Amino acid sequence: MMVISPSMLGADLLRLGEEIDLVERLGLTWLHLDNMDGHFVPNISYGPEFVAAMRRKTSLFLDVHLMLEYPRRYLKRYAEAGADMITVHAEAADEPADTLRAIAALGVKAGVALKPDTPPGAVEALLPLCDLVLVMTVEPGFGGQAMRADCIAKLPVLREMIRRTGRDIRLSVDGGINRRNARRVLEAGADVLVMGTGLFRADDPAGVVRDVRAAAEACACAR
């Protein structure tokens, strides 16, 4: 079942409550929260308190993306803040397998993310510890970038790696996803589409959701 995970980085910071109401009205079930430390990526965004505020506002699934050099230091605070899933980068300074085990030990679903230049093989050994793989289709740090089409080739490779594990692991794409390229990433094997600008800055977010759901239907029929 395809999931759209709206990235709050693309939302209007002065109207976050209304933007979450919109997400709920659109019948979406996830919220993607991008946390950045200014070290792992050249930007600073939110922290655990932001996640806690989102938790107080909504029961949507909080899909927390940590772009932190040392995520292990903060896992407990994000878990206590109400994260439903914590995704950390394979490229972070903390050893990813230990970090993924630590996330699971907190009772939170665990995801691993890979930057555009990191090959799929870098995460294959981590898959038994994962509930989701996040394929960055932009260099992490900022919303509103154009999707890097060269990253799409990773999706079928990761889809096959996931199949071989026999585990139910979600395959997510993140960065520059919109109504025009959604079908392409779905056909390549993605089943979670993170959308910030492509959803929140669209003239008709409901039309975007309709188009993406139609693309997912068309892909499912094709399979």
Interface residues with ligand DX5 (CB under 6 A) are 7, 9-10, 32, 34, 65, 67, 138, 140-141, 143-145, 174-177, 194-198
Shortest distance, position 12 Cβ to ligand DX5, whole Å:
13
Pick from Zn ion, ligand DX5, none: which does 5 bind, CB < 5 to 8 A by kind? none
Q: Of the two residues 67 and 112, which places its CB atom closer to ligand DX5 in the complex?
A: 67
Pick from Zn ion, ligand DX5, none: which does 111 bind, CB < 5 to 8 A by kind? none
Label the pairing between strands 85-89 and 192-195. Answer: unpaired
Nearest C-alpha neighbor of 54 from the set 30, 75, 37? 30
Are 60 and 24 in contact, with CB atoms under 8 Å apart? yes
Q: Which positions are catalytic?
A: 34, 174
- Determine the residue type at 2: M
To the nearest 10 degrees (0 to 180), the angle between helices 16-25 and 48-57 is 50
Number of residues in contact with Zn ion under rule CB under 5 A = 3
Interacting residues with Zn ion between 31 and 70 (CB under 5 A)? 34, 65
Q: Of the two residues 65 and 170, which places its CB atom closer to ligand DX5 in the complex?
A: 65
**Of all residues in this chain, which one has the CB nearest to ligand DX5 in the complex?**
196
Nearest C-alpha neighbor of 21 from the set 34, 11, 36? 11
Shortest distance, position 93 Cβ to ligand DX5, whole Å:
18
Per-residue burial over 73-90, b if 16 or more Cβ lie within 10 Å, else e, is: ebbeebbebbbbbbbbbb
- The yes or no reply on residue 191 touching Zn ion (CB under 5 A) is no
- Sign of the dihedral defined by the CA atoms of residues 152, 154, 157, 161, in that order: negative
Shortest distance, position 200 Cβ to ligand DX5, whole Å:
8
Pick from ligand DX5, Zn ion, none: which does 87 bind, CB < 5 to 8 A by kind? none
**Among 37, 131, 174, 191, contact with Zn ion (rule: CB under 5 A):** 174
- In a 3-state reduction of DSSP, which class is residue 33? strand
Nearest C-alpha neighbor of 136 from the set 152, 125, 121? 152
Shortest distance, position 164 Cβ to ligand DX5, whole Å:
27
Give me the residues that bind Zn ion (CB under 5 A), please.
Answer: 34, 65, 174
